[in-house]
Amino acid sequence: MATCKDPKCPEHGSIATRGFRTVGNVVSSRAKRTAIVERETVQHIKKYARYARTKSRIAAHNPDCLDAQVGDVVELQECRKISKTKAWVITKIISKGAGYLKEGQAKARDEKQVRRKEELAEKEEKPAASAQ
C-alpha cells in the first residue's frame, strides 16, 4: 500500500485506535472518506427460546490508502469521534468483491462494467480507424 496523506488514517495518520474490533460488509461508500458497514448478529431470546437476527449499520472512516468499495468485507476498529456519526475507522480489507451485494445489485454492477468496457473499446477503435 502506498502512503496516504489522510491525517485520520490509522496507519499513516495520527488517529489512535482503541477498544472494540469487528468485521462487516461495506454497503455504501458514496460519501467522501466514509463507508457504511453493516454487520449481522444473532441474538438468543431466552424467554421464547429462539434466536433473532439483527443488523447494525456503522459509519466508518475510509482512508485513501484502503478505499473500501461496496461488497468488500472489512475490519473496523473503534477510535475517537471523527465527526458527528463516525467513531470507527477501517483498518484493513479482508476480502474484495461483491460478497454482500444482493443478486440484482451484483448483476446490475456487472452489466455496468461490461458496458463501460465496450464504450472504452469503441473509443479506442475510432481514433485508430480515423488515422488510417
Domain boundaries, the chain: 1-99, 102-132
Q: Residue 1: pLDDT band by 50, 70, 90 thresholds? A: very low
What does the alpha-carbon distance between residue 91 and residue 18 come to, in Å, rounded to a whole number?
12
* Lowest mean per-residue pLDDT among 17-31, 53-67, 112-126: 112-126
Instruction: Provide the whole-model pTM.
Output: 0.69
Residue pLDDT, tens place only, 3-50: 788 888 888 888 999 999 999 999 999 999 999 999 999 999 999 999
CATH 2.130.10.30 given to domain 1-99: no
